[in-house]
Amino acid sequence: MNYQESIEYLESLSRFGIRLGLERMQELVIRLGHPERKYPTIHITGTNGKGSTTACLAAILQEAGFRTAMYTSPHLERYTERMRIDGLEVEEAVFARAIEQTAAAARAMEKDGLEHPTQFEILTAAAFVMFAAMQVDYAVIEVGLGGSLDSTNVIDSRVAVITNVTLEHEDRCGYTVPEIAEHKAGIIKKNAQVLTAAEGEALEVIQRRAVECGASVQVLGRDWQAQIQSMSLAGIAWMLQQPDGSRWPLKTRLLGEHQAYNASLAVMAALMLGETAVNQEVVDRALAKAYWPGRFEVLRIQPPLVVDGAHNPAGAAVLRRTLDQVFPGSAVLFLLGILKDKDIEGITSILVRKQDRVIAVRPLSERAAEAGDLASHFPPQQVEAVPDWEEGVNRLLQFAGQEPQKVACVAGSLYLLGAVRPLLLRKLQNS
């Protein structure tokens, strides 16, 4: 199986859809010889901030001299973005070999009368195979959806990180915050160490699960602090106060106060591993390099152009707050595309204000809301429905050129960002 054949195979698995549950995954890793047990793992879940936290933690461990793997989802442009070793995407040939090996095990399961694994299960198992073959020292694993029933939850992680818990994926994880927290707390394993920025009812659920597992919990705002000091287009600076009273001044080029909390979670997780190579100097260098595309990513400073993967009300609130902090008083030109199974009204009501303008488009997904349906959530004078997303990009750049005092922002879906971001980068490079 070459790389193109591996992609065609993966795309063919979309017919299985999303099916939560660990039975298929448990059988699959058994048949693969338990590759996920051949290196220590750190498991990261939460409603928002999972990817940024994963990227920062992987950068810290890499800077400390450890061969570090990182597994994230979804990808923006290429499947290989999901599996990185020491910050680099796995090579296509390595990816194809792992998919071929995993596919053979999946076919054997089906031949034996068992359910064929889903696309995400194949990808996850293949990532474990790749990381084992590359003999990594650590693997930082981001949950795909929820926690307890997610395909990644076959790992026995030393450290579990839960960023926050808000309403999302209610149809799969529950219709209340405590129900969703139960899913996310499901990544906590026996005698693990747990870090979280969760609050209220969600925190109560997490703490209860930790007690059941004999796990220890450290909570942002209770056991350790992250105090914001400054923020600009250059990044954010804050003071991290650790449980022992140690104070580290830190900074990152990632934008938004939430990124200080995400990066702090990563730092605390790295320290929990007890590796002497992880010190303040290493952390400083790592956070200066840490990068996570599509999360308040400023592609152009003047006129401002931002892309962000906000796709739920909590993400929209963070994006709105960061826009106000980085570009105070500026109206926004939005290019929005949202999936129809998301809380469209919740997202748009938080994100868009009366002085803003909206270009509504349809993301590249079978689950996408039509441009006209999205536009119906705004007054007619504020919105323009453009069914073709490429034409939407052209309109956004046109308006941004005409009104340079406004901030152009693409948001609403990672599926939209995956298509729009490379096009914008090409256009900006050629301009």
Q: Of the candidates 46, 215, 264, which has an alpha carbon nearest to the alpha carbon of residue 143?
A: 46
Residue 168: per-residue pLDDT: 63
Residue 382's Cβ-side half-sphere holds a number of Cα atoms within 13 Å equal to 18
Mind listing the pLDDT tens digit of every residue in the chain (431 residues)? Answer: 999 999 999 999 987 777 778 999 999 999 999 999 999 999 999 988 899 999 999 999 999 999 999 999 988 889 999 999 999 999 999 999 999 999 999 999 999 999 999 999 999 999 999 999 999 999 999 999 888 999 999 999 999 999 988 766 545 555 788 889 999 999 999 999 999 999 999 999 999 999 999 999 999 999 999 999 998 888 999 999 999 999 999 999 999 888 999 999 999 999 999 999 999 999 999 999 998 888 899 999 999 999 998 888 988 999 999 999 999 999 999 999 999 988 999 999 999 999 999 999 999 888 899 999 999 999 999 999 998 999 999 999 999 999 999 999 999 998 899 999 999 999 988 87
Q: How does pLDDT run across 268-281, given as a tens digit for each residue?
A: 999 999 999 999 99
Q: Which amino acid belongs to residue 107?
A: R
Backbone phi, psi, residue 59, to 5°: -65, -40
In this prediction the pTM is 0.91
Residue 431: per-residue pLDDT: 73
Q: Which amino acid belongs to residue 280?
A: Q
3-state secondary structure (DSSP) of residue 249: strand
Residue 18: per-residue pLDDT: 73
Backbone phi, psi, residue 102, to 5°: -70, -40
Residue 420: per-residue pLDDT: 94
- CB contact at 8 A, 237 and 229: yes
Percent over 90 (pLDDT), the chain? 81
For 137-155, the DSSP string reads: SEEEEE-SSSSTTSGGGGS
Q: How does pLDDT run across 189-207, given as a tens digit for each residue?
A: 999 999 999 999 999 999 9
- CB contact at 8 A, 90 and 72: no
CA 321, chain centre distance (Å): 19
Residue 174: per-residue pLDDT: 57
Structure tokens at 254: 């990632």
Domains, in order of start, for the chain: 3-289 (3.40.1190.10), 297-430 (3.90.190.20)
Determine which helix (DSSP H) or strand (DSSP E) holds 228, and give its type and residue range: strand 225-232
Determine which helix (DSSP H) or strand (DSSP E) holds 398, and give its type and residue range: helix 389-402
Beta bridge partners of 139: 41, 69
Backbone phi, psi, residue 303, to 5°: -65, 150
- CB contact at 8 A, 287 and 252: yes
In the numeric block, the tokens 């694993």 are attached to 141
Structure tokens at 341: 């199974």
Q: Which amino acid belongs to residue 285?
A: R
Strands 305-307 and 407-411: parallel
Residue 19's CB is within 10 A of a number of other CB atoms, namely 14
